[in-house]
Amino acid sequence: MSAADKKIASPAQDDWVPIREISRVTGVNTVTLRAWERRYGLLVPRRTEKGHRLYNRDDILRVQEIQRWLGRGLAIGKVKALLANAEREHEFPPIDSVWLTLVEQFYIALGNFQRHSLERLIEETFALYPTEMLADYVVQPVLQALQGDEPGKAAQRAFFTAVLQEYLVAGQQRLRQSAQRAGVVLVSIGANENPLLLHTLNYSLLVHQYQAEYLGYLEWRDIQICTEALSAKILVIIGYENLNAGGLKLQLEVWRERSGIPVIVAGNLAQVFDTSVTDPVSGVLTCEHHQQVLAAIKQLLKADQKG
């Protein structure tokens, strides 16, 4: 653990850190933190003489509490009132999930094939909500709903993939400049895999300041070459297409014999494994959702530090 990590983990009362540090600890984009402050007054950072934002431990705890409410489906605009309620821990107000509302908004934008409307919705949504939550509660449900042979669905799915992927790739270049944490390689082992959820996960990892590299579809021999060349600490294999489960298990057994890099199997691929026997010691973890992938990466790196 670096000196910066130790300072964030238990800062003294008078310790203040810049916005990039609170972003790294919480995984909330700096753009989102600023939006929560400006639009909703959820954060009130201290300012330096030059106007730079500074945050303390209470701010970190507040951001984490905001994340918990968002995970329950509360719209960001309703969070402040609950944070101000001293009795909030003892009552759970009825919540109309914001995620269902957002999915419906994306359906409308996709139905009209209006790029400008879709781009504006993407920019607004990704500025206000954590990427991994959007992946699990919005992006994946939209992609699933657009599967099938019904006329227009394939076109809407392709349009959604193209526009959102364009936004994510552009953002990755900016985020990569501040990525300093362990390297993570993401690949697909299905040649026909839709790349959108992989791009979304890669974007989310970069927000968390991991040095993430999405390499697309690769054969196993090339995966090993890339992970070693990039000094990756973790390999993430994510897929939603039907694959040979037996073949995947066999390849992972070979991988574990030849490489010390742990593997996270994510998406529908995770369902082919018995999750009761996957753990950091075995070198393989399974995660169906993006939020679980982020938690697994932290778990693996923590185990590696202890080792």
pLDDT at 1: 40
Judge whether 88 and 62 are in contact, CB under 8 Å.
no
Q: Can you tell me which residue has the tokens 């490489």?
A: 259
3-state SS, residue 194 = coil
Contact present, 28 and 65 (Cβ < 8 Å):
no
d(CA 221, CA 265): 17
Q: Which helix (H) or strand (E) holds 300?
A: helix 290-306
pLDDT, position 277? 45
The pair of structure tokens assigned to 163 is: 């526009």
Note the pLDDT tens digit of each residue in 29-83. 999 999 999 999 999 999 988 888 999 999 999 999 999 999 999 999 999 988 8
Q: What is the mean pLDDT of residues 294-305?
A: 84
- Phi and psi angles of residue 55, each rounded to the nearest 5 degrees, phi first: -130, 155
What are 134-181's pLDDT values in tens digits? 999 999 999 999 988 899 999 999 999 999 999 999 999 899 988 989
Residues 6+ apart with CB under 8 A from 293: 132, 201, 236, 238, 264, 266, 287
Instruction: Give the model's pLDDT for residue 98.
Output: 94
Contact criterion met (CB below 8 Å) for 233 and 196:
no
Strands (E), the chain: 17-18, 46-47, 53-55, 181-188, 210-217, 234-239, 263-267, 284-287
Q: Could you give the domains of the chain?
A: 3-90 (1.10.1660.10), 98-171 (1.10.1240), 179-306 (3.40.50.280)
Contact status, residue 70 vs residue 33, Cβ threshold 8 Å: no
Q: Is the pLDDT of residue 15 over 70?
A: yes
| Cβ–Cβ under 8 Å, residues 264 and 287 | yes
Rounded to whole angstroms, the Cα distance separating 281 from 274 reads: 15
In the predicted structure, residue 284 carries a pLDDT above the cut 50:
yes
Residue 250: per-residue pLDDT: 83
pLDDT at 306: 62
Give the tens place of pLDDT for each residue, 225-279. 999 999 999 999 988 876 666 778 788 888 888 888 999 999 888 877 654 445 5
pLDDT confidence of 14, banded at 50, 70, 90? low
Q: How far is CA 190 from CA 13, 57, 219, 223, in A?
A: 50, 43, 9, 13
Distances (CA, A) of 168 to 8, 111, 119, 200, 227: 28, 21, 11, 7, 23
Which residue would you say has higher pLDDT here, 94 or 181?
181
d(CA 162, CA 184): 24
Buried (b) or exposed (e) across 140-164, using 16+ Cβ within 10 A?
Answer: bbbbeebeeeeeeeeebbebbbebb
pTM above 0.75, yes or no: yes
For residues 195-214, average pLDDT = 95
